[in-house]
Amino acid sequence: MSLPVCLRLGFAMLLCASAAALAQPAASAPPASAAQEPQRRWMAVPRVSGRLTARDLGLVINTADPYSVAVGEYYIDKRGIPPEQVLRLELPVKPVLSAAEFELLAAQVREHMGPQVQALAMAWNQPWAVECNSITAALTLGFQPDACKQTCSPNRPSGYFNGASSRPYTELGLRPSMLLATRSVESAKALIDRGVASDGQLGRRGGPPAKAVFINTQDRARNVRSVLFPPEGLIAARGIEVDLRQASETSQLRRVILMQTGVAKVDVLDNLQWLPGALADHLTSWGGQLLASHGQMSVLDWLESGATASFGTVSEPCNHLQKFPHPQVLLLHYLQGETALEAYWKSVAWPAQGVFVGEPSAAPFAR
């Protein structure tokens, strides 16, 4: 008998699925026919007042990494990060840190960042992990060694999930973090420019709507998140149109501000016209191994194609819904004017294995 695994949504809604359905490796299940279309309805999320700004952000630069130095200095200039909130340190330039190496980093961050710093940006593309944890989760919630005993097990819940807080360090004692990571300094500068250009540009009545695109695939293990996709249609008051489609549809998509799917590799990147500030991710096992070559698409491919932030896991998570961004939580928090960092972090219930990547301060729906 399989026991229920449940994900709490909003204030009172509860989604339950069998443990057998949620515990398959996201890397290797055979393709299957798309499930019968579920009845879709909008969930409730808390109303949020305010958002993080550059005044709330701390920046960490690795002086041993030329990429980090160049990208960090560019970010300081473009976002106006206060000088006292910039930490320059020396860190091993490699994909995975040991627990001991990470603790040296975490201690320096704790010592340097004052109580006004609510969130963190890290200007590098490696390291992306601490043993089996992502580096963003370890720095935000603390390293979780128990997650590495069996990476398909549930992780510690995040108290930031689907929350109303706009002052996470003051109110919750945590600093959500994000990597400013791409494959080159030039790409990183373009990413930062897209984030800056996005601020306050969407959500107005009368103009052409932005598109939130959710793609249903026939990959049984990776398509589990499709049951959480929102209802299709135009939300005129928010200037957004929800587009639900099948992976077999190949027509060009324009004005995309959000895209989510479940597949090892995404084939439609050349058919996308991104808006500045766009969020995009795919549910698969190793999308968060940023510079690795393992037969699955890295989340950096989203950013290289023109998206502004993404998310992927750094170790085999199996396909627990709680380990990946919840489609409606992500969209509804972003529509309230929160930053890419806030909306992404609030959309993941169990974030220990997931790395958040992109321009943290992008806020296209801000007012």
Q: Do residue 160 and residue 83 come from a single domain? A: yes
Q: Do residue 244 and residue 324 come from a single domain? A: yes
Q: Do residue 104 and residue 211 come from a single domain? A: no
Q: Do residue 84 and residue 149 come from a single domain? A: yes
Q: In this structure, is residue 234 part of a structural domain?
A: yes
pLDDT (tens, 9 = 90+) of the chain, 367 residues, equals 222 233 333 222 333 332 333 345 554 443 334 446 678 999 999 999 999 999 999 999 999 999 999 999 999 999 999 999 999 999 999 999 999 999 999 999 999 999 999 999 999 999 999 999 999 999 999 999 999 999 999 999 999 999 999 999 999 999 999 999 999 999 999 999 999 999 999 998 778 999 999 999 999 999 999 999 999 999 999 999 999 999 988 788 999 999 999 999 998 898 899 999 999 999 999 999 999 878 899 999 999 999 999 999 999 999 999 999 999 999 999 999 999 999 999 999 999 999 999 999 999 999 8
Helices in 147-231 by DSSP H: which ranges?
Answer: 168-172, 185-198
Q: Do residue 221 and residue 306 come from a single domain? A: yes
Q: Do residue 32 and residue 80 come from a single domain? A: no
Whole-angstrom Cα distance, residue 212 to residue 311?
16
| Number of domains observed in the structure of the chain | 2
Whole-angstrom Cα distance, residue 367 to residue 351?
28
Whole-angstrom Cα distance, residue 30 to residue 306?
30
Q: In this structure, is residue 47 part of a structural domain?
A: no
Q: In this structure, is residue 264 part of a structural domain?
A: yes
Q: Which of 158, 185, 212 is the last residue of a domain?
A: 185
Q: What tokens were used for 343?
A: 């909306």
Q: Are 178 and 362 in contact (CB under 8 A)?
A: no
Q: In this structure, is residue 75 part of a structural domain?
A: yes
Q: In this structure, is residue 196 part of a structural domain?
A: no
Q: In this structure, is residue 70 part of a structural domain?
A: yes
* Rg of the chain taking only CA atoms, in angstroms: 19
Whole-angstrom Cα distance, residue 220 to residue 25?
11
Among the listed residues 222, 227, 314, the one whose alpha carbon sits nearest the alpha carbon of residue 7: 227
Q: What tokens were used for 321?
A: 């819904």
Calculate the CA dihedral of residues 283, 271, 251, 335 and round it to 10 degrees. 60
Q: What tokens were used for 76?
A: 């300081």
Residue by residue, DSSP assigns 96-164 as: EE-HHHHHHHHHHHHHHS-TT--EEEE--SS--EETTEEHHHHHHH---GGGGT-TTS--PPPTTTT--
Give the per-residue pLDDT at 14.
Answer: 30
Q: What is the number of alpha carbons within 13 Å of residue 171 lying toward its C-beta?
A: 9
Q: Are 342 and 331 in contact (CB under 8 A)?
A: no
Q: Do residue 125 and residue 241 come from a single domain? A: no
DSSP H or E run through 309: strand 309-313
Q: In this structure, is residue 315 part of a structural domain?
A: yes
Give the per-residue pLDDT at 10.
Answer: 29
Q: Do residue 152 and residue 234 come from a single domain? A: no
Q: Do residue 84 and residue 207 come from a single domain? A: no
Q: Do residue 35 and residue 69 come from a single domain? A: no
Q: Do residue 58 and residue 178 come from a single domain? A: yes
Q: In this structure, is residue 353 part of a structural domain?
A: no
- List the domain range (segments joined by +) for residue 103: 54-185
Residues 6+ apart with CB under 8 A from 258: 211, 212, 213, 278, 279, 280, 330, 331, 334
Q: What tokens were used for 328?
A: 């409606």
Residue by residue, DSSP assigns 247-305 as: TT----EEEEEEEEE--SS-S-GGGEEEEEEEEEEE--SSTT-TT--SSS--THHHHHH
Give the per-residue pLDDT at 3.
Answer: 23
Model confidence, pTM: 0.91
Q: Do residue 310 and residue 241 come from a single domain? A: yes
Helix axis angle for 66-79 and 185-198, nearest 10°, is 20
CATH number at residue 310: 3.40.50
Q: Which of 124, 157, 185 is the last residue of a domain?
A: 185
Q: Are 330 and 343 in contact (CB under 8 A)?
A: yes
